[in-house]
């Protein structure tokens, strides 16, 4: 093999380094090295390896275009885009996308326990554009400000509870429990332990079967059966059965002081 140049340590023992060392200042306040490790008296982990690093409590910096790009500090934290990495891997990208993962199969991140057991996967489906979240545990829990907010297990989805007992289990310490909001109005469902309350906000409440409205309660509290415009507290369009008899409309008209019937 032809080399442009090389540095060789004549000793073949493992008790020496074969490196170039770089000193900052006469006192060597920062020391860098590059070469092969072989020390039995210094850091024995460097034996039979190629080493680029520092020998003092200073960061190792990888630079391009005279600008630092990657920092490895004295604690072993790696910073990409930051010179002060706070964690083992700290990525700062400003307004750009910090990380891009590309794979022909699954493209994501797996999280393992300290014993190496797979625990959680977050990424894409195998070879597709779909998102995938998977856990080896029996439940998935999402937290808000360190408090459990939503849990999905084999029984169902719990919001406000970590132990859902139905396919959808909603629990709240304040009312209402569920709110449905449209472009101009909202409705909610509330249960306070003694009553179930359905509210249509400022509009009417419809009851639909077979994709057709059957009962309406308007904003005045009038109930219409067979009509979308109830004019009284109870407004019936159609036949009514009382006991074993069927009456054709208008079978019964009632007021708050009495009643009259026509047959």
Predicted confidence (pLDDT) at residue 256 exceeds the cutoff of 50: no
Buried residues in 202-215 as b, exposed as e (16+ CB within 10 A): eebeeeeeeeeeee
Higher pLDDT, 51 or 242: 51
Q: Torsion-angle region of residue 176: left (phi > 0), alpha (psi -120 to 50) or beta?
A: beta
Confidence of residue 10 (pLDDT cuts 50, 70, 90): low
Q: What are the pLDDT digits (tens) for 50-63?
A: 888 888 888 999 99
> Which of 18-27, 122-131, 136-145 is modeled with the greatest confidence?
136-145
What is the rounded CA–CA span in Å between residue 164 and residue 238? Answer: 43
pTM: 0.60
How many Cα atoms are found within 13 Å in the side-chain-facing hemisphere of 227? 16
Strand spans (E) along 39-146: 49-54, 60-64, 67-72, 78-80, 89-91, 108-112, 118-124, 131-135, 139-144
What is the rounded CA–CA span in Å between residue 122 and residue 110? Answer: 7
46 φ, ψ to 5°? -85, -5
Note the pLDDT of residue 114. Answer: 86
Of 169, 142, 139, 143, the C-alpha closest to 154 is 139
Higher pLDDT, 1 or 259: 1
């Amino acid at each position: 093999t032809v080399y442009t140049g090389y540095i060789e340590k004549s000793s073949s023992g493992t008790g020496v380094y074969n490196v170039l060392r770089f000193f900052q200042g006469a006192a060597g306040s920062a020391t860098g090295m590059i070469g092969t490790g072989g020390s039995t008296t210094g850091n024995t982990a460097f034996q039979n390896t190629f080493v680029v690093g520092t020998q003092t409590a200073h960061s190792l910096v990888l630079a391009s275009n005279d600008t630092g790009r990657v920092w490895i500090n004295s604690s072993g934290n790696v910073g990409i885009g930051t010179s002060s990495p706070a964690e083992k891997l700290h990525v700062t990208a400003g307004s750009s996308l910090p990380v891009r993962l590309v794979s022909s199969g699954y493209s994501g991140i797996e999280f393992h326990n300290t014993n190496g057991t797979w625990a959680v996967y977050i990424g894409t489906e195998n070879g597709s554009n779909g998102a995938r979240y998977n856990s080896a545990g029996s439940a998935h829990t999402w937290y808000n400000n360190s408090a459990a907010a939503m849990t999905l297990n084999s029984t169902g989805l719990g919001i406000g509870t970590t132990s859902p007992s139905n396919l959808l289990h909603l629990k709240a310490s304040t009312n209402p429990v569920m709110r449905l909001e449209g472009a101009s109005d909202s409705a909610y469902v509330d249960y306070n332990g003694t009553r179930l309350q359905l509210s249509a906000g400022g509009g009417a409440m419809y009851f639909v079967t077979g994709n057709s409205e059957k009962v309406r309660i308007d904003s005045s509290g009038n109930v219409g059966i067979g009509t979308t415009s109830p004019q009284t507290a109870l407004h019936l369009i159609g036949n009514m059965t009382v006991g074993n008899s069927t009456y054709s409309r208008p079978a019964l008209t009632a007021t708050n002081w009495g009643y009259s019937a026509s047959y």
